[in-house]
Amino acid sequence: MKFFVDTADVDAIRELNDLGMVDGVTTNPSLILKSGRDIIEVTKEICGIVSGPVSAEVVALTADEMIAEGRKLAEIAPNIAVKVPLTWDGLKTCKVLSGEGHMVNVTLCFSANQALLAAKAGATFISPFIGRLDDINLDGLDLIADIRTIYDNYGFETQILAASIRTANHVTQCALIGADVMTAPPSVIKALAGHVLTDKGLDQFMKDWAKTGQKIL
């Protein structure tokens, strides 16, 4: 499973990229706001750090405006994936931009039917939001499984990009189900390394080592 990092924080992206933990980046208007930087400027810098897809989101609501914005964003770098919402206008935009050879990430997916439409429109990525479904007492992981089954049934090449990842368990289950990609904040990716028994074992090793009175360096 590929790891995308969901942030516009270039320092965090660079740190994870140096460790080989980043296959791509996803951004959205909220993350751009948090970064406090110009969207074109920060997106261009991110594209220079990572070689994989960098999702940059349109903010228009009509197809004609989305297409124009998407073309503008795609000019930033060859690894831009234009991010569009899963609306009828977003699907129209996806069809046009994908037809022009641009990567398109269709976001805010909350049903298998929406994912089916996105695949038929030529989406490179479909982004189902796990955490937001969990928030309304639905199992977001069930959606990932449903999309996986449908895409496999018909040979769709659209990649499932599991989004709104909030826990380490989300990552594990998405990998078991067969999501192609997961995107998560840096804090969640780093949390994957944590385990209470690892901490407990290391603490015991260090105590025993101190008792030996030895040094390696």
Set 72, 83, 95, 207: catalytic member = 83
Q: What is the 3-state secondary structure (H, E, C) of the chain?
A: CEEEEECCCHHHHHHHHHCCCCCEEECCHHHHHHHCCCHHHHHHHHHHHCCCCEEEECCCCCHHHHHHHHHHHHCCCCCEEEEEECCHHHHHHHHHHHHCCCEEEEEEECCHHHHHHHHHCCCCEEEEEHHHHHHCCCCHHHHHHHHHHHHHHHCCCCEEEEECCCCHHHHHHHHHHCCCEEEECHHHHHHCCCCHHHHHHHHHHHHHHHHHCCCCC
Asked if 83 is an active-site residue, the reply is yes
Tell me which residues are annotated as active site: 83
